[in-house]
Amino acid sequence: MASEVVAKRRGRTKAEQRAASLEQILDAAEYLFSKSGLHGVTLRDVAARVGIHTTLLNYYFKDKANLFEAVFARRAAVTSGRRMRALEEYEAKAGKKPTVEGALRAFLDTDLDLYYEGGEGWMNYGAFSARASNTPEGAELMDVYFDPVVLKLISILKKALPGYSDEDLFWGYHFVTGALMNTLARTGRIDRLSGGICHSDDFPAVKKRMARFMAAGFLALKN
């Protein structure tokens, strides 16, 4: 009996060690991919940042593409899940009279809060996602992990804007996600353009304005 307990403890410790190692690898890869993208990073770069041999990295991930997808997937379920819940709660509360701004706030504000309040890791993931979204491999992962929540947003917008065509709604979403990705990228360009009045990492300032601004854009699409 005692030997079984010891064995279980050892197994649990190894599992915890493995989980910790995986988190370190994913954190390192997330940071590097956020700066240089899939093709600008090697497995050797990731191993060097973690301080391990490349062979250990190969033990966990068969190749760089597999690591890239793991980095993408780790937080994707969290952000898409939070937004889906926020949209469902808003839809239930609004009943038959949802507004464009209300739907956008559920979709955008929930995400901006998560990145800003989540710390450095989430901010890195935001930049990683923004870069990935503009690549074929990243777009494919976006399809897998984010289509359901986007289509949920569209369904609420259809109720808020019953006279609008699907074409206008999807173009409107395209403009919204472009602004969101540009925000998550935190390139520093707005800092320089504004002479320091605006800051790329000031997500509360973005949250204060983005949904209202984008809602006005949707309303302007009506012919």
**pLDDT score at 212:** 97
| pLDDT tier, 17 (very low <50, low <70, confident <90, very high otherwise) | confident
Range of the domain at 11: 2-220
**pLDDT score at 12:** 61
Place of tokens 């890195």: 124
Percent of the chain surpassing pLDDT 90: 81
pLDDT at 181 over 50: yes
pTM of the shown model: 0.87
CATH code, domain with 134 = 1.10.357.10
For the stretch 112-127, pLDDT in tens is 999 999 999 999 999 9
| pLDDT tier, 223 (very low <50, low <70, confident <90, very high otherwise) | low
The DSSP code for 135 is S
For the stretch 159-168, pLDDT in tens is 999 999 999 9
For the stretch 63-99, pLDDT in tens is 999 999 999 999 999 999 999 999 999 999 999 999 9
Total number of domains in the chain: 1
What value does the mean pLDDT take over residues 190-214? 97
**pLDDT score at 84:** 97
Contacts by residues 108-111 (CB-CB < 8 Å, ≥ 24 positions apart): 108/176, 108/180, 108/207, 108/210, 108/211, 108/214, 109/207, 109/211, 110/82, 110/83, 110/86, 111/79, 111/82, 111/83, 111/180
Q: Is 198 left (phi over 0), alpha (psi -120 to 50) or beta?
A: beta
What value does the mean pLDDT take over residues 173-191? 96
**pLDDT score at 11:** 54
Q: Is 186 left (phi over 0), alpha (psi -120 to 50) or beta?
A: left
pLDDT at 6 over 80: no
